Each structure stands twice: as C-alpha cells, then as structure tokens.
Structure 1
Amino acid sequence: MRVLLADDQDLVRAGFRIILDTAPDVVVVGEARDGLEAVAAAAATRPDVIVMDVEMPGVDGIEATRRILEAASPGGPAVLVLTTFGRGEYLFRALRAGASGFLLKTSSPEDLIAAVAVVHRGDALLAPELTRSVVSAALADAAASPIVPSPRLAALTEREREVLDRMAAGRSNAEIARELYLGEATVKTHVSNVLAKLDLRDRTAAVVFAYENGVVVPGDAVR
C-alpha cells in the first residue's frame, strides 16, 4: 500500500512514518505540509491511501480531500482523516468531501496501521467515539433543508435497499449476512451493486448518502 502523509507538524508526520514503516505491506511515498502540497503530491506520487490532517495552513485537509478526489480517476486514493478534533461539522464535511475514514490522533499505532488497510480495501472506517458527532451533524444538515430523495434509489432492489439500511447503521458484511440469512460473499456482491447503482466510491459515502436522502433516521430501528 502506497501512503501519502499530509500534516503541518513535522514531528507528527515523522511519527506517522515511523509507525507505518513497521508494517511490511506499507510504503510511505511522500509527505505534505499543507493542503496545496497534498494535492500536488497526490498527483505526483499516485498513493493508494492519503493520511490527511484537517487543520492545515492555507488549504485545509477537507478542501484538499475534495480537490484530490475530484481529480482522481476511478480507483483513486482513499483518504483517511486523522485529527485531534472530534467536532461533528469537521467530520461530516470531510465525509461529504469523499474521505473514507476518520480516526483521532489519540488512537494507537496499531489502530493507524489497521485503518490504512481498512480504507485501502474500500471499507468505511469511523472511530466509534466519533459516530455520535457525525450523526448529530447529519441531522443538523438535514434540518436545514427538506429531504428530497435521490432518484437513484429507485434502481435498488428490495434486497439491496435492506443492505443499504444496514450499511448506514454501521453493520459489517458479516453482521449483515447474519441478519439477512445470506452468505458473506452474497452480501459483498450486494454492497458492490449498491455502490455502483448509487455512484458512490465506498461504504462511508453510502452512509452519508443514506442520511442525506432519508433512507435511515438516527434512532430508528433498521427495517
């Protein structure tokens, strides 16, 4: 896995590099001190995963994420946002910009290595302690304007809609398989179909889509 590090603090970047260098299947291909450098470095190094800070001088990590992913070809980099801040508006803005995961800098080195692997394989990752903040931000955003469900939802089969409901509730493929009495390989196929039909890059984007389009409402039981 080719990893790009973007953080305005030299010691933080050095620490991340030392941690990731211990993983046999990870190579750090570049570093950036701000958002503009991150955008340029992503184009130059073509990383698989970008570990992105939020608060950086000039262009912040959220805007850098948006620019990088808009310019990326299909199968482009996954962005893992690492920050000391757990504010809901940061989280939701980052996810809407296309970030695949969010992790606090207080997480362990093992958590960082695992998180890079998770987003690299296309799964969503959100630190459990941040989920409430994301849901609160999603509710505030939804309250600001009426929800108009996307017409793309009509393309989903009933089973795919059930899978989307559970993805939005944070269920893993194994958990979805148990709840719907399906094999994990079948669930994986349904997840891929959902992402393709809704034109979404990964499970994190599916969660944001589900909340923005009224598919699920925090507090409701999964259908």
Structure 2
Amino acid sequence: METLSPLLPREKLLRDGAMLLTDEELLALFLRTGTRSKNVFALARDLLQHFGSLHGLLSAEMKDFRRVEGIGLATFAQLKGIAELAQRYYCSGIRGINPLKDPQMTREFVRSQLAEEEREIFMVIFLDNQNRVLSHSRLFSGTLSHVEVHPREIAREAIKVNAAGVILAHNHPSGRAEPSKADRDVTARIIKCCQFMDIRVLDHLVIGRGEYVSFAERGWI
C-alpha cells in the first residue's frame, strides 16, 4: 500500500488556506494512503466520482461502502464522524448569533444544511426579540422540484419556542437559486400568517449550488 506524504496538500492548506483545497485534495489529506493499485489521489478521485460528491460520500450508508475498494470499516466510521462534526460545528456556531449582524454566517449555515440535498427541504430559523437565533428546524421535505409548505405550522412552531421572528430557507436541487413564482407566493402567505401572531419574517434564503438569493436583499420582504 502506498503512503501519501501529506506535505503537498498540507503545505497548500498552510500557505493558501483550506478554502483553496479541492475536494480531492481534502479527501486525500484525510485518507493519507491509497491502495496497492491506486495512489491516494486516484482513490480520492474515484470515491468522489462513485458517490457523486463529498455530500454523497459522507452521507452514504455502510452497505454502500462494501462495494468500494480501499474503504474499510475504520475509514467508514471516520468519514461519518467528520460529517457529524461538521454539522455540529455549524449548529453550535449559529446559535445565539444575530443574523442581521452576521448574514454571511447565516448563509454559510443554511448552505451547509441544504446545498447538497437531492430533494427540496424547507427550513426555518427561529429568532428571539433581539434577533438572536433560538433554534432551527427542517419543517418540510418534498421532491426534486417541489415541497409543500404549511404557513400555520411555521407559526405554531415559532410560538412553541417563543420566537419573535423567523428566517425561512429552502434549496433548489436543480442548482439554480432564482426563486419561482410559487416561492414568492408561499413567502407572502407565511408573512401574512405570521403577522397575526406578531411574528416577523426577516428573510427567505433560496440556496442553489454555489449561489443563493435573499428575499430581503431583493427588497421583497
């Protein structure tokens, strides 16, 4: 088995920052070794192609790995641990922040939750009366191109956690973040429903692949 000297991706990370590493380089840095027939970069490339993306790799089940050469149970467990660590990192980072003062953190959090999903997911971030995050919840899930949203359920959940405001977010698995007429219509219905409960809707973020649209930035809220 060939062992990777971690200097190349590690040096790049230290010199340029982790954001400039490719998915293949990040995965190779973690794997460290290849197999008898593949160096670690070839293994990383093949894994990403097999599972479609980092999200596909990190969210795959154990049975999916049994058909992949070079991945044992120990590596599978480590990959699942990395996925959970990333989720907890973003969840712990978002709680208590003011999205109006740190919109980039909010966008990154929403993107981490929704960008790679293969079906539409509608998430709500609940805020207190000082616009600090109380909690978040994936309230509705749908198909590749549609999710059914019930405004009264959003208002009901907001009341449960004593929220004074909400930020709405959902993804477009197609990759295009541009909101549809249905997106704008359901947002208007949610705003109207929440107004009866004195709950403010601060924004609606639509997440695509590498892009987003903010209703607030567009002046629609």
TM-score range, shorter chain: under 0.3
- Asked which structure has the greater RCO (Cα within 8 Å, sep 6+), the reply is 1
Q: Which has the higher helix share?
A: 1
- Give the TM-score normalised by structure 2: 0.28
- Give the TM-score normalised by structure 1: 0.28
